[in-house]
Amino acid sequence: MRVGPLRALPLLILCSACFGGASPAPTPTVPVSDAEAAAFSARITKFYDALEGVPLDALVTYDNKELRDCFASPEGFTDYFSALATAARLEQFRYTTARHVQIKEFNFETPEDATVWVSFISVNQRTLRFWSIHFDRLDAWHRGDDGVWRIVPAKL
């Protein structure tokens, strides 16, 4: 099969766009020391472990001082837990309780800002649906002037 020059031009442009371009620049890594990363990891692990096995929409969870200490303001705490309880209710978590909370990964955007990808896993409220269900969140954390990492909640 022969292809004329006018038909070959779009194919050449397409091939040069696919194969001839430069590779994308790698994302720069933020210089964070091992000690800082380990301290951040311990902080988020303690926070998310405290959410395992407790009802996310219950007053006992809402009054937990250790959980409140991970927020800069009472309003931020309320916004976060309202969104979390709503997500658990919409996904039909049994008793709105996360049976397992798994930190998938965390990344430092800057030395003072990080994101945490976390998965909340439970069983379905409908008892005949015996498989596990989950929802994922991407939480933003910020290190304040006092050096303490706190969650920056998104608004509902």
Q: Along the 156 residues of the chain, how does pLDDT read in single tens digits?
A: 455 555 555 555 555 555 555 555 555 567 788 999 999 999 999 999 999 988 888 888 888 899 999 999 999 999 998 898 888 888 878 777 888 999 999 999 999 999 999 999 888 766 666 677 888 999 999 999 999 999 998 764
pLDDT of residue 22: 52
What is the domain class of 31-152 according to CATH?
A: alpha beta
The residue ranges of every structural domain in the chain are 31-152
Q: pTM for this structure?
A: 0.75
pLDDT of residue 156: 47
Which strands sit side by side in the sheet containing 100-110, from one edge to the other? 100-110, 113-123, 132-143, 149-152
pLDDT of residue 118: 95
